[in-house]
A and B are shown apart, each in its own frame.
Chain A
Amino acid sequence: MSNNRGVIRFIARRLALGLFTLFVVSLVVFAATQLLPSDPAQAILGRDANAVSVAALRTKLGLNHTAFYQYTHWLKGMLSGNPGDSFNAQIPILSYISDRVVNSLFLLFLASVVSIPMSLWFGAYSARKRDTLFDNVTSNTMLALASLPEFVVGIILVLVFSLRVWHLLPAVSTIDIHKGPWSDMKGMVLPTATLVIGAVPYISRVVRASMIEVLESDYVEMARLKGAPEKVVLWRHALPNALGPVFQVIALNIAYFAAGVIVVEALFNYQGIGGALRDSVRVRDIPVIQFLVMVLAAVYVVTNLAADLATVLVTPRLRTRMR
C-alpha cells in the first residue's frame, strides 16, 4: 500500500528526533559532571587520601584526558553495554544495578497493568454518565487524589492499611533482591497502589474529556441519525477517535511512573533503581547517576515514540497524509 512509505518516514523522523533528544541529554548530563566543584577522585577517596592514590585513581578513571575524549569514551561504553564502574561500590554498574532495574520494571509493569484499564473504564463511564451523581463523585474524588504528592498518598496508605488502623499489609517491602519481587506479592500491594492512585486521575480525566468531545462530534450525531445501535456508536464511531490523546497521556504517565518509583521506593524501602539513585546522589556516585538518568530519559523517549505510533495507527488522516 502506498500509505506505508508515509508511515515509515514518520517513524524514521520521530526516531531521529528521539535519538537527538537522548544525544542532547547525554551532553547535558556529561557537561554537568564537568561542572562539579570538586575533583571526583578526591571525592571518592575522601579528603584525607594522599596525592599519589588520588593521582592513580584519576588515571584509572580517565580524568586526565580531554573532556572530549572522556565524553566519547563514556558514550562508547554506554552504547556497547559497558557503562563503567560505580565509584562507590567499585564494581561494574550493570552488575550493581541489574537486579534493581528488574525490580523497578516489575513495579512499573504492575502499576501500568492496573492503572490503564482502570482509567479507561472510569473515564469512558464518566463521559457516558456525564453530570450524573456518579460522574460528580468520581471527578471530585479524582481531583483530590490528583492533587496529592505520591509520598503523601503512600504514607496515608501505610497509616491506614498497615500501621495504625488495620494491620493487613506490610509497610515495607522485604523482597530478597536476588529472588525477584514476585516472591513477595503482598509487599507489592501498597507500592503499586500508591503509583496507581497517582496515575488514574490523570489518565481517566483525559479519557473522559476525549470521550465527551467525540460523543458531541458531528459524526457521532450522524451515526445516531443513521440508526446505529448505541453499542456501535460507542465502539465503532466514538472510541477509535477518542484514543489519540489517551495514548499520549498513558505514555506520559509511564514516564511519570519511572520518576515516581524514586519516591515510592524510598517510602517502602523497595530495592529498585530509585533507591540506587538516591544513594548515588548522596555519595556523588557520578557514573551510576549518569547511567540511571540516561535510562530514564530513554524510557521517556521510547514511550513517547510508542504513543506517537499508536496514535498514527488509529488516525487514518495522519497515516495517509504524511510528509
Chain B
Amino acid sequence: MTAADVTAADPGTTPEVASRKPPGVIRVAYRMWRTRVGTLIVALLAAIALFGHLIAPYGERDAVGLPFTPAGKTRKHTIFGSAKVGHDVWTRFLYGGKPILIAAVLATVLALVLGTLVGLVAAYNRGKLDDVLMRTMDVILALPQIISALIVISMFGATTILIILTVGISTVPRIARVTRGAAISVVERDFVAAAESLGESRFRILRSELLPNIAAPLLVEANLRLTFSIGLISGIAFLGFTPDPGAANWGLMINENRQGVLGQNPWGVILPVIAIAMLTIGTGLVGDGLSRAAAGIDRSKGGDL
C-alpha cells in the first residue's frame, strides 16, 4: 500500500480488501450442503448413465433367461434377475440412462439459449416487439409440454432429434418469461442508460450490461427446466414412445416391467424408478441451493440497516 492510499482512502472502508468480485450465485450456492449433495448425486447418476454400459455384463438386447425371473433362477448369472423378453435388468439399467440424460441436457441448452435471447430482446425493446414475442410465447404455453411432444410424435414418430427439439422449444417460453421478468428491472437501472448515452450497440448492451446481472435467476430457472425435461423425456418413454423400442431406456423399463412387479421380479421397475428419482432430486437440490443463493444475494443488496 502506498502512502497516498492511506491519506486519500476513506477511513471507514477497509483498504486491505483490494479487489473482490461480488460473489457469484454459484460460489454462494456451493457453501450450502444441499448444493454439494445434489451435485454429488447428479454426478453419480450421470456417470452411470454415460459410462454404465462399459461395465455392463451383457449386451443391451441379450436374453439371459425367461422374462421376469428373479436373480438366481435365470439361465445366465444375474444380479437383479431378468426383465421383459428375458433381458438382464442390471444391463438394461446401465444402458437406459444415456438417452434420457443426453436428450434432457440438449433440450435444456437449446431452450436456455433461445429463451434467454427472446427474453432479453423483449425486455430491452419493450413496445411492439415485446408484445409480439410474448404473445407468441403465450401460444406455445397454451399447449402443455407433453401434448406438444405427443402431437409431434404422432406425426413424425419418436426420433431423438424431434424429442429434443420439441421439449426444447416448448421450454423456451418458460425461460423467456423468467429472463424478461428479471431483465426488465435491470433495463430500468441507470447503468444501461449510461451505456446507451455512450452509444453502445444493442447487442453489447444485452450481453455486457443485462446478461451478467440476470445470471442468478437464469441459472435457477435453467436448473428447474433441466429437472422438468428429465421428467418429461422419461415420461414420454414411459408412455411407450422411444426412438428405438428395443433399446434400453429407464422410462420405458418402468412401463414394460410393470407385470414383473406383481410376479417374481420387481427390480426391473425399482432400479429405474430409483435412478430417475435420484437424478431429479439431485438436480432439484442443486436448483434449490442456487435459488437460495440468488435470494441471499438479492437480499444483501439492500445493505442498509
Contact = CB atoms under 8 A, between A and B. Distances in A.
State if A and B touch, Cβ cutoff 8 Å.
yes
Interface of A: 17, 20-22, 24-25, 28-29, 32-33, 35-37, 143-144, 146-152, 155-156, 158-159, 163-164, 171, 255-256, 258-259, 262-263, 266-267, 277-278, 280-282, 284, 286, 289, 293, 296-297, 300-301
User: Interface on chain A toward B: helix, strand, loop, or mixed SS?
Assistant: helix
Given A147-B280, A289-B151, A37 B156 contact: yes
Nearest to A209: B295
Contacts of A263: 146, 235, 238-239
Contacts of B138: 17, 21
A296 B151 CA distance: 13
A262 B151 CA distance: 13
Given A32-B151, A277-B150, A289-B154, A258 B144 contact: yes
Among A22, A36, A262, chain B packs the most CB atoms within 10 A around the CB of: A262
B99 interface: no
A266 B238 contact: yes
A293 B276 CA distance: 28
A300 B173 CA distance: 15
Contacts, number: 127
A36 to B, nearest CB: 6
User: Interface on chain B toward A: helix, strand, loop, or mixed SS?
Assistant: helix
Contacts of A37: 155-156
Contact of A293 (B151, B232, B238): B151
A163 B270 CA distance: 12
B231 A281 contact: no
Contacts of A164: 261, 266
B33 to A, nearest CB: 11
Given A155-B273, A281-B153, A149 B285 contact: no
- The range of chain B's interface size is 35 or more
A259 B147 contact: yes
Interface of B: 135, 138-139, 141-147, 150-156, 227, 230-232, 234-235, 238-241, 251, 254, 261-262, 266, 269-270, 273, 276-277, 280-281, 283-285, 288
A13 B144 CA distance: 23
A43 B283 CA distance: 42
A281 B235 contact: no
Contacts of B144: 255-256, 258-259, 296, 300
A151 B254 contact: yes
A8 B144 CA distance: 29
30 contacts: A21-B138, A21-B139, A22-B142, A25-B139, A32-B155, A37-B156, A143-B285, A144-B284, A147-B280, A147-B284, A148-B231, A149-B276, A152-B254, A152-B280, A155-B254, A156-B273, A159-B269, A163-B266, A164-B266, A256-B144, A258-B144, A259-B147, A262-B146, A277-B147, A277-B150, A281-B150, A289-B154, A296-B143, A296-B147, A300-B143
Among B142, B144, B153, chain A packs the most CB atoms within 10 A around the CB of: B142
